[in-house]
Amino acid sequence: MTITVSGGALLAGALENVRYEVVPVSDVATISEGLPEGARVTITSSPRLGLERSISAAEELARSGFQVVPHLTARQIRDETELSGIIDRLVNAGIDDIMVLAGDASSPAGPYTSSLDLLRYLDKTGNPFSQIGIAGYPEGHPALSSEGLRQALRSKVPFATYIVTQLCFSPDAVARWLDTIRSDGIHLPVYVGIPGKVSQRRLLSMASKIGVGDSLRFLKRQSGNVFRMMFSSEFDPGDLILQFEPLLTSSNGIAGFHVYTFNAIPATEEWRLEMLHNLPR
């Protein structure tokens, strides 16, 4: 795919405004290896690892000079006392940007069952964060209908400052979703979720689990056939990034890319810098 100078400049801007999503499965020194100085880093939270792991990692990364964006997951929080304590810790660490999500727990640990519950709590108690992100789902969500997702997003928008999309390999799906939310009057900036340079086997597994049908088909087309893909090493996001270039217009409001690194940070950052170097500008 040929990229013009103007297109290269748009892609470069999006690649320079990157958020790196990491999973706190190891110590912070290992997690941060390969991250550029002062990078914006989002910290996931899962029922398996526990919320404390994420909050502690966020505090430590913030002390190391990174712009940290922890995931605050409603269904893992036991009560208002725990939530208030978490907020105090984040504020004391100098963190002013959070992602508010429902979370993957099968049943809530306390009274907060959805991201909207947390957003309303923050609004009611005096939100101390200058930036709040919410999730967008260009290819839908296994537990919600399309209309349910639209209604949920509309209800959360008044409390948020930006949207991060689910991992997506389909520029067409993102384009359709952007048209839908903009027609609904939602004009928050959007960070498009893309994979880093990670194992293709892992990407296929994740795409299957989260139900991203168009993206799964894209992955198979890119690899020729699924069997070759399963036994190749890494997915190179370069071709995918180039296909997002037509969407990087001011009317679409794409602020940058949210890179799901799966902790393959050194390889992902090496790829990003190389792509920036090679883009026409």
Q: 190-209: per-residue pLDDT in tens?
A: 999 998 887 777 666 654 44
Q: In percent, how much of the chain has pLDDT > 90?
A: 61
Three state DSSP letters for 92-116: HCCCCEEEEECCCCCCCCCCCCCHH
Q: Say yes or no to pLDDT of 212 above 90.
A: no
Angle at 123 between CA 193 and CA 43, to 5 degrees: 35
Q: Is the confidence at residue 222, as pLDDT, over 80?
A: no
Q: Which two tokens stand for residue 133?
A: 């992100």
Residue 20 and residue 35 in contact, taking contact as beta carbons nearer than 8 Å = yes
Bridge partners (DSSP) of residue 273 are none
For residue 46, the model assigns a pLDDT of 81
Alpha-carbon gap, residue 273 to 16, rounded angstroms: 9
- With b for 16 or more beta-carbon neighbours within 10 A and e for fewer, the 185-210 pattern comes to ebebebbbbbbbbbebeebbebbeeb
Condensed to tens digits (0 to 9), the pLDDT of residues 82-118 reads 999 999 999 999 999 999 999 877 889 999 999 999 9
Strand, helix or coil for residue 119: helix
Q: Which pLDDT band holds residue 164 (cuts at 50, 70, 90)?
A: very high
User: What are the structure tokens assigned to 15, written together?
Assistant: 């690649």
pLDDT band at 275 (very low <50, low <70, confident <90, very high): very high
Q: What is residue 204's predicted lDDT score, i.e. its pLDDT? A: 63
Query: What CATH number corresponds to the domain at position 240?
Result: 3.20.20.220
Q: Determine what percent of the chain is predicted with pLDDT higher than 70.
A: 87
**Owning domain of residue 209:** 5-278
What confidence score (pLDDT) does residue 233 get?
62
The length of the chain in residues reads 281
Q: pLDDT tens digits, residue range 44-63?
A: 888 888 899 999 999 999 99
Domain total in the chain: 1
Following DSSP, what letter does each residue of 199-238 receive, concatenated? BHHHHHHHHHHHT-HHHHHHHHHHHSSHHHHHTS-B--TH
Per-residue pLDDT band for 223 (boundaries 50, 70, 90) equals very low
Separate counts of helices (H) and strands (E) for the chain? 12, 8
Cβ-proximal residues to 67 (8 Å cutoff; 6+ apart), any chain: 38, 39, 40, 41, 97
- What local confidence, expressed as pLDDT, does residue 205 receive? 60
The closest of 87, 93, 38, 85 to 66, measured between CA atoms, is: 38
Quote the mean pLDDT of the chain.
Answer: 86
Instruction: State pTM to two decimals.
Output: 0.89
Structure tokens at 120: 């309303």
* Per-residue model confidence as pLDDT tens digits over 227-249: 344 445 667 888 889 999 999 98
